[in-house]
Structure 1
Amino acid sequence: MDGAPVMAAPGEEIQQAVLNHLQRLAISVGAPIRATVRDDRAGCVVPLEVATDGSSRMTGEPVRVPAPQASGTGTPTTTATTVRAEAAATAVPQSAATAIPPEVIFGVSREAVASAVAHTPARGFDAVAEEVLGDGPLTETAEGAELLTEPMTRINEAVRAGRLDAAAELADRALAEAAAALGVHHAEVLHLRELSAYIAYLAGDPVRAFQLSLDLARLRRRARDGEAAYDNVQSAATAWRAVRDPEEGLRLGRDLIDLWTELAAEPGPAADDPRPLESARARMVRLSDRAARAARP
């Protein structure tokens, strides 16, 4: 980040590309992200805060800035949107010239991360982000420590550096080795699958992140671990909200809500707070409306 341009994919609105990018940053640190977004096309800098669930709000008034120089055809020299981001616990820069602290992970200071997440229990991808960014144990068992400490260290370093392709490759390799040595249902193998889902989400592959997370939720529910199953449902829900195609969102959402409803009918965290499930059902209604509009001639 720190002044890096964000480019929209073909067919994607630049505003949505920026929001998606900032949401992935928020997920990566388990805390809301505040950013100054310079839109050269609109000629302004906008201060935003984006939460881990993708919701956003303006944190100040837009500021007009000079438009970029035009080329000989009268077209601006760039249509990229420039973003500076940091954790919401730190001061929000009010202009694109404001400096970002140098000790950063994805443009977010470690101190801000620790402060922002200290007061709320982490679930889903937020919990994985805390593990990646924190200094705690890398594994959950003694046999896992012997086998996985070195590869987990390299995976976390790659994620922190933003080398997500390398992180995904390292995680896949470690997962295969751990499954062969410990068994596919071992706690360390499940933990690695959570990490793989998180990396897929950060890398912009929400469908894979969703499928990995929901499969884990099913496994853990069958093992009668409702707490861990709900964490994985939360990860799946985060990935699902990043799926933009309404038809695919509906298909994935049905599977998510079916499992979520089953968990909510049992004692545990899903039953304790029904609001996230209600929000997911409301999104299904919105997706249905979007799909119906898209199907009209």
Structure 2
Amino acid sequence: MSRLSRAQNPVQQAGPSAAPIQVHVPATGHGGASVGGVTVTAAPGQEIQQAVLNHLHRLALAEGHPVRATILDGRIGYAVPLQINLDGSSALTGQPWEVPAEPPTPACVIDAHPIPLGTVSPPTGVFGPPPVMDPPATAEPGTPLTPSPAPCTPQPKPKPHPLLQATDLPPEPAPAPKNSTRVRGFDAVAEAVLGDEPSPAGPLAEPVAAINEAVREGRTEDAARLAERTVAEASRTLGPEHPEVLRLRELAAYIAYLAGEPDRAFALALEVAGIHHRAHDREAAYGNVLSAATAWRAVRDPELGLRLGDELIALWSALAEDGGPAAEEPGRLESARTRMTRLTERAARL
């Protein structure tokens, strides 16, 4: 889930996009928003701004670098320049500016049953009142007549932004059940890292706090080195499958994903998912499968994506067969299988 960044988050380096993606949210807030010419609608119970941020985050993942957008929000009368980063956070790239109020859209009245000229209509048998005739208008010589309003013509749809024409965009996630508000996968890790709540007490509280601080300050390489060293030390003292160590390994996978190492992030997350699966912890296993799936979608090499996808779907299918949260969200697994089909087609063209 994409989220607005904290004020101290640094703006990451954006990719070589020709221009910011133009986003338009109508003043009424109804009918969705236009993101680079593509209509984005909010799911039931979701606000339109969150749907837009989620869509832009998927574009950033597909491109492998942050993307910038100019959001013209007709509801508040301001244009907001944003950058959406790979971790789902967003930051202002400039000061918002006020824009003119949106003019009302002219209504086009079209006769649903046009009658061609020269057609004689059958009599109805009822005489209506005589028509009221306006007196003829008088105009001074040389005064031009008031022109009739121009007929309404449909406006052409804007061409989609180049980023929106990517062939392998991450698919829209299946909507969660209405009674489900649980955050899973890298989203849950990000909330723990970027949230305001202090780190929970435990044997690894101090190093985890240092790792989280490095992530918040944008020192991803420092965070990755510290996480790797802490995982190795904690595995020797507590054991590689100790609950605290497993949470630390989840954090290491998230940091690898932020560092642009999706294959490493995938391996770390899927290994933790397998440990939880063997321990019959279906919730924790599914959360790490979703983390692995997020990293997998950022792998651009189709052949590598196919190899990793086979491992992912094998474990994911086993979780779905066991019931639990994986079985409650079958659309996510189906989306992964659909991507495997696209990767197979891309690999065949190489």
User: Please, which of 40, 51, 54 is the counterpart of residue 54 of structure 2?
Assistant: 51
Alignment check: 8 A CA contact 1:250 1:284 kept: yes
Alignment check: 8 A CA contact 1:84 1:107 kept: no
| Deviation, structure 1 residue 150 | 1.6
Q: Distance in 1 between matches of 2:349 and 2:226?
A: 42
Q: Distance in 1 between matches of 2:244 and 2:219?
A: 23
**Across the two proteins, how many residue pairs are aligned to each other?**
220
- 1:71-121 C-alpha deviation (Å, 9 max, x unpaired): xxxxxxxxx9983799x9xx89736599xxxxx98669xxxxxxxxxx932
Matched, 1:257 2:313: yes
- 1:21-65 C-alpha deviation (Å, 9 max, x unpaired): xxxx94897xxxxx9x999985666349452895349xxxxxxxx
Q: Distance in 2 between matches of 1:245 and 1:149?
A: 37
Q: Distance in 1 between matches of 2:344 and 2:298?
A: 16
User: Please, which of 59, 71, 94 is the counterpart of residue 79 of structure 2?
Assistant: 94
Q: Distance in 2 between matches of 1:153 and 1:271?
A: 34
Secondary structure (helix, strand or coil) at the match of 2:203 reads: helix
Instruction: Rate the CA distance shift 1:122–1:276 in 2: closer, same or farther, 3 A.
Output: same
Partner residue in 2 for 1:199: 255
| Deviation, structure 1 residue 138 | 2.2
Q: Distance in 2 between matches of 1:38 and 1:50?
A: 16
Secondary structure (helix, strand or coil) at the match of 1:123 reads: coil
Matched, 1:271 2:327: yes
| Deviation, structure 1 residue 162 | 0.9
Instruction: Rate the CA distance shift 1:256–1:40 in 2: closer, same or farther, 3 A.
Output: closer
| Deviation, structure 1 residue 153 | 1.1
Alignment check: 8 A CA contact 1:27 1:125 kept: no
Instruction: Rate the CA distance shift 1:231–1:171 in 2: closer, same or farther, 3 A.
Output: same
Alignment check: 8 A CA contact 1:50 1:56 kept: no
Question: Aligned ranges for residues 50-89 of structure 1 at < 5 Å?
Answer: 50-51=53-54, 55-56=58-59, 83=68
Secondary structure (helix, strand or coil) at the match of 2:79 reads: coil
Q: Structure 2 counterpart of 1:258, which letter?
A: A
Partner residue in 2 for 1:161: 217
- 1:196-218 C-alpha deviation (Å, 9 max, x unpaired): 00000011100000000111111
Q: Distance in 2 between matches of 1:149 and 1:158?
A: 14
Secondary structure (helix, strand or coil) at the match of 1:208 reads: helix
Instruction: Rate the CA distance shift 1:52–1:166 in 2: closer, same or farther, 3 A.
Output: farther
Instruction: Rate the CA distance shift 1:161–1:235 in 2: closer, same or farther, 3 A.
Output: same
What is the percent sequence identity of the aligned residues?
51
Instruction: Rate the CA distance shift 1:183–1:163 in 2: closer, same or farther, 3 A.
Output: same
Matched, 1:222 2:278: yes
Alignment check: 8 A CA contact 1:214 1:233 kept: yes
Structure 1 stretches of at least 4 aligned residues deviating more than 2 Å after TM superposition: 25-29, 37-57, 80-86, 91-98, 104-108, 135-139
Q: Structure 1 counterpart of 2:68, which letter?
A: V
Instruction: Rate the CA distance shift 1:134–1:92 in 2: closer, same or farther, 3 A.
Output: farther
Instruction: Rate the CA distance shift 1:105–1:155 in 2: closer, same or farther, 3 A.
Output: farther
User: Please, which of 252, 269, 274 is the counterpart of residue 213 of structure 1?
Assistant: 269
Q: Structure 2 counterpart of 1:246, which letter?
A: P
Q: Distance in 1 between matches of 2:300 and 2:280?
A: 32
Structure having the larger proportion of residues in helix: 1
Partner residue in 2 for 1:129: 190
| Structure of larger gyration radius | 2
User: Please, which of 275, 291, 303 is the counterpart of residue 247 of structure 1?
Assistant: 303
Alignment check: 8 A CA contact 2:265 2:292 kept: yes
| Deviation, structure 1 residue 293 | 1.2
Alignment check: 8 A CA contact 1:28 1:202 kept: no
Matched, 1:280 2:336: yes
| Deviation, structure 1 residue 133 | 1.2
Alignment check: 8 A CA contact 1:45 1:95 kept: no
Instruction: Rate the CA distance shift 1:41–1:150 in 2: closer, same or farther, 3 A.
Output: closer
| Deviation, structure 1 residue 243 | 0.4
Alignment check: 8 A CA contact 1:247 1:287 kept: yes
Q: Distance in 2 between matches of 1:81 and 1:55?
A: 10
Instruction: Rate the CA distance shift 1:85–1:254 in 2: closer, same or farther, 3 A.
Output: farther
Q: Distance in 1 between matches of 2:247 and 2:236?
A: 15
Alignment check: 8 A CA contact 2:69 2:82 kept: no
Q: Give TM-score scaled by structure 1 length.
A: 0.63
Secondary structure (helix, strand or coil) at the match of 1:262 reads: helix
Q: Structure 1 counterpart of 2:301, which letter?
A: D
Question: Aligned ranges for residues 176-191 of structure 1 at < 5 Å?
Answer: 176-191=232-247
Secondary structure (helix, strand or coil) at the match of 2:196 reads: coil
- Specify every segment of 5 or more residues in structure 2 that has no aligned partner in the other structure, as ranges: 6-10, 25-51, 84-88, 94-179
